[in-house]
Amino acid sequence: MITIALSKGRIFGETAPLLAAAGIVASEDPDKSRKLIIATNHPGVRLLILRATDVPTYVQHGAADLGIAGRDVLIEHGGENIYQPLDLNIARCKMMVAARPEFDYIGAVQQGSRLRVASKYVNIARNYFAERGMHIDLIKLYGSMELAPLVNLADVIVDLVSSGATLKANGLVTVDEIMDISSYLIVNQTALKLNRAGIQPLLDAFSLAVSKK
């Protein structure tokens, strides 16, 4: 049995066509079902439906052989024991720094001011500002980050942005770009060694499907 860990919503929506190209069709829609283990048309392949941030953990420990996870989630997790062979080019967005329009970000950077940064992505935020020699006070949040600058919890946030509609709705603007984000196919290194005959054809099918998009 090959087990693939996925998250619902955006990732499943963009993954389903890639799975289909690899000959795998879920027996029910994870967005409608309450089941956490979903069978497929392929008797040797099943799907685990997880919270996005938990996908690397299941793959790292071998509870899933394969997974699909955002680059943001992989960097925050650390990626131990995980092989990342393929950028699937789905769920694309950018990791950005955003602030209230009144906040002088460029001035703060130039003057080396201490910056109050709120984010769910603490490793990405810490590394980014450390590489620039900036001192920050980092505030860990779990969601609704746009609120933080509005109520003076932080000067800036580090968050994923695609259309920018959420920032705009809350009166924030982007002030810096950290990195491009997309989702990757990830593989448990030990599973790949022990079951290359089962897993490699799936990797090849995904790779072909991505190259055709």
Binding site for ligand ATP (CB under 6 A): 7, 9-11, 52-53, 70, 72-73, 91-93, 143, 160, 162, 181, 183
Q: Which is nearer to ligand ATP, 72 or 155 (CB)?
A: 72
- Report d(CA 88, CA 18) in Å as an integer: 9
- Complex with ligand ATP: residue 115 or 158, whichever CB lies closer: 158
Beta-carbon contacts of residue 89 (< 8 Å; ≥ 6 apart): 182, 210, 213
CA distance linking residue 13 with residue 209, whole number of Å: 15
Q: Contact, 127 vs 138, CB < 8 A?
A: no
What's the Cα-to-Cα distance from 80 to each of 21, 48, 52, 170, rounded to whole Å? 29, 20, 17, 37
Q: Which amino acid is at 28?
A: E
CB of 94 to ligand ATP, least distance (A): 9
CB 156 within 8 A of CB 117: yes
Q: Residue 88 or residue 117: which is nearer to ligand ATP going by CB? A: 88
Shortest separation between residue 99's beta carbon and ligand ATP, angstroms: 18
What is the nearest approach in angstroms of ligand ATP to the Cβ of residue 59?
A: 14
Q: Closest residue to ligand ATP, Cβ-based?
A: 70
Residue closer to ligand ATP (CB basis): 142 or 211: 142
**From the CB of 67, what's the least distance to ligand ATP, in Å?**
12
Nearest distance from C-beta of residue 114 to ligand ATP, angstroms: 28
Tokens matching residue 26 = 């879920």
Q: 51-81 in b/e burial notation, b at 16+ Cβ within 10 A?
A: ebbbbbbbbbeeebbbbbbbbbbbbbbebee
The smaller minimum CB distance to ligand ATP, of residues 10 and 116, is found at: 10
